[in-house]
């Protein structure tokens, strides 16, 4: 092969390498923690390269009117974000292994939140699955005696159902198996660790 041909192939290879998207196995930083004074709800914040996702849900999605995906989008401050969804607002900050903030509801009441970084190698984190035209979410965080799992399934028509863990918690590949409450016949759903930006 001549020098000119070798130079051309090297140039093409460099250009193609520059067009490759970043690897999709790079995980965002995720902070999880109990929400509110009584801790009967969970909130998770995922951040990566200017992108952010915030998810909040209670112990009973049919009863608790939490906003679920508060918002997904971008942030410009290196360690702080304010996001809104309808009449809900989340103000939060993060740094190192901890995060904090407050979720403000339609009644103007601020529910305090403090989170810790999901532990590497653990099941802690924020999971999601696009199913039936809606993005379901699941938060897993370390509890006193067992992991706390809270989540909600939804569909494009606005139906919301509780997500329950399948015990013992296990990953199938990278996905966590959970159940969607659906009367006498719960439906299995596999949720994956959240990736940013979200669809």
Least confident segment among 9-13, 30-34, 66-70, 122-126: 9-13
> What is residue 24's predicted lDDT score, i.e. its pLDDT?
52
Residue 51 to residue 27: CA distance in whole angstroms: 12
Query: Is 6's pLDDT higher than 50?
Result: no
Query: Is 73's pLDDT higher than 90?
Result: no
Residue 58 to residue 140: CA distance in whole angstroms: 12
Q: What is the pLDDT of residues 122-169, one digit of tens each?
A: 999 999 999 999 999 999 998 878 899 999 999 999 999 999 999 999
| pTM for this prediction | 0.85
DSSP structural state of residue 10: H
Average pLDDT, the chain: 86
Among 92, 142, 147, residue whose Cα is nearest residue 118 = 142
Residue 164 to residue 3: CA distance in whole angstroms: 63
Q: Report the SS3 class of residue 197.
A: coil
Domain boundaries, the chain: 29-193
Using alpha carbons only, what angle is made at residue 150 by residues 146 and 151, rounded to the nearest 5 degrees?
150
């Amino acid at each position: 092969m001549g020098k000119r041909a070798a130079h051309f192939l090297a140039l093409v290879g460099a250009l193609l390498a520059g067009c490759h998207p970043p690897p999709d196995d790079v995980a965002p930083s995720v902070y999880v923690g109990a929400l509110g004074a009584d801790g009967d709800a969970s909130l998770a914040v995922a951040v990566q390269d200017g992108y952010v996702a915030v998810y909040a849900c209670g112990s009973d999605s049919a009863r608790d009117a939490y906003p679920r995906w508060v918002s997904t989008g971008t942030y410009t401050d290196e360690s702080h974000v304010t996001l809104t969804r309808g009449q809900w607002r989340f103000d939060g900050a993060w740094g190192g292994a901890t995060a904090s903030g407050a979720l403000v509801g339609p009644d103007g009441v601020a529910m305090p939140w403090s989170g810790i970084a999901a532990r590497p190698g653990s099941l802690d984190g924020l999971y999601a699955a696009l199913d039936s035209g809606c993005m379901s979410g699941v938060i897993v965080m370390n509890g006193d005696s067992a992991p706390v799992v809270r989540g909600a399934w939804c569909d494009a028509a606005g139906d919301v159902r509780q997500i329950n863990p399948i015990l013992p918690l296990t990953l199938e590949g990278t996905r966590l198996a959970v159940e969607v409450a659906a009367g006498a016949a719960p439906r299995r759903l596999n949720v994956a660790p959240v990736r940013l930006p979200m669809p």
